């Protein structure tokens, strides 16, 4: 089985691309959803986050995402502490789900994660990387309109990530999401077809 990374900056349209890949029959593991589940009541990261950041972030057994985001975005040390807690747990869960897809007979699985190739090199477990690019001003607009956060907060979240353009040399495919939804889908469909042809 081949693991293919799907990455892009926050607000780039990566989730829509992932949805379209699934429509093309390619299963996707969403690292962000896994991360959210870890912070829900009973989640594997709740106690460690409480210990690292304080009881005030825990509301009814759940980590308050807005308070946590306010604490870590714009503070590189705090973000590194959070990543040290969540990344190993996310990796374990991704491996478990990928193994289940392999057992079910899938030859390709997409790993949908914003932080792939974040350190300037491609993650060793990947056999390919897809990058979704979108102009920063458009990403800002989407975050403010669709996630109901301020422009300053949106900018902090964007700046907490490596500029997506820096990942382009590491990518096997680059999707330019600066046009219509139809244009995005056409690019995804072409990549999906290329992946499936290699898998035959």
pLDDT tens for 71-119 read 888 788 998 899 999 999 999 999 999 999 999 999 999 999 988 988 8
Could you give the CA distance from residue 169 to residue 175 in angstroms, rounded to a whole number?
A: 13
**pLDDT score at 74:** 77
The top-level CATH class assigned to 1-27+107-200 is: alpha beta
Residues spanned by CATH 3.40.50.300 within the chain? 1-27+107-200, 32-105
Inter-residue contact 30 to 49 (CB < 8 Å) = no
Close Cβ partners of 199 (under 8 Å, ≥ 6 residues apart): 2, 107, 108
Could you give the CA distance from residue 122 to residue 162 in angstroms, rounded to a whole number?
A: 13
The top-level CATH class assigned to 32-105 is: alpha beta
Q: How far is CA 101 from the centre of its chain?
A: 19
Could you give the CA distance from residue 46 to residue 94 in angstroms, rounded to a whole number?
A: 19
Question: If we measure between CA atoms, which residue out of 139, 135, 134, 132 comes closest to residue 155?
Answer: 139
Residue 173 class from Cβ within 10 Å (0-12 exposed, 13-18 middle, 19+ buried)?
middle
End-to-end CA distance of the chain: 12
**pLDDT score at 199:** 66
**pLDDT score at 76:** 84
- Supply the mean pLDDT for the chain: 91
Element (H, E) at 183: helix 181-199
Collect the ranges in the chain with pLDDT lower than 50: none
| Strand locations in the chain (E) | 2-8, 28-30, 58-59, 62-63, 108-112, 128-133, 173-176
* Beta-strand relationship, 28-30 and 108-112: parallel
Q: Kindly provide the b/e burial profile for residues 60-74, where b requires at least 16 CB atoms within 10 angstroms of the residue's own CB.
A: eeebeeeebbebbbb
Q: How far is CA 44 from the centre of its chain?
A: 19
Two structure tokens written together for 64: 């308050």
Inter-residue contact 7 to 116 (CB < 8 Å) = yes
């Amino acid at each position: 089985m081949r693991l293919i990374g799907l990455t892009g900056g926050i607000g780039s349209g990566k989730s829509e691309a992932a949805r379209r890949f699934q429509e093309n029959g390619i299963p996707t593991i969403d690292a962000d959803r896994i991360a959210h589940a870890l912070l829900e009541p009973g989640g594997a990261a709740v106690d460690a986050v409480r210990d690292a950041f304080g009881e005030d972030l825990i509301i009814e057994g759940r980590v308050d995402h807005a308070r946590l985001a306010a604490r870590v975005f714009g503070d590189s040390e705090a973000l590194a502490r959070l990543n040290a807690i969540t990344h190993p747990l996310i990796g374990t869960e991704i491996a478990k789900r990928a193994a289940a897809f392999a057992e079910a007979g899938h030859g390709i699985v997409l790993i949908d994660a914003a932080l792939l190739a974040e350190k300037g090199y491609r993650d060793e477990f990947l056999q390919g990387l897809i990058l979704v690019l979108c102009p920063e001003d458009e990403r800002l607009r989407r975050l403010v309109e669709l996630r109901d956060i301020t422009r300053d907060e949106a900018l902090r979240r964007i700046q907490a990530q490596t500029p997506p353009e820096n990942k382009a040399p590491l990518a096997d495919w680059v999707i330019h999401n600066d046009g219509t939804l139809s244009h995005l889908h056409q690019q995804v469909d072409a990549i999906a077809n290329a992946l499936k042809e290699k898998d035959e």
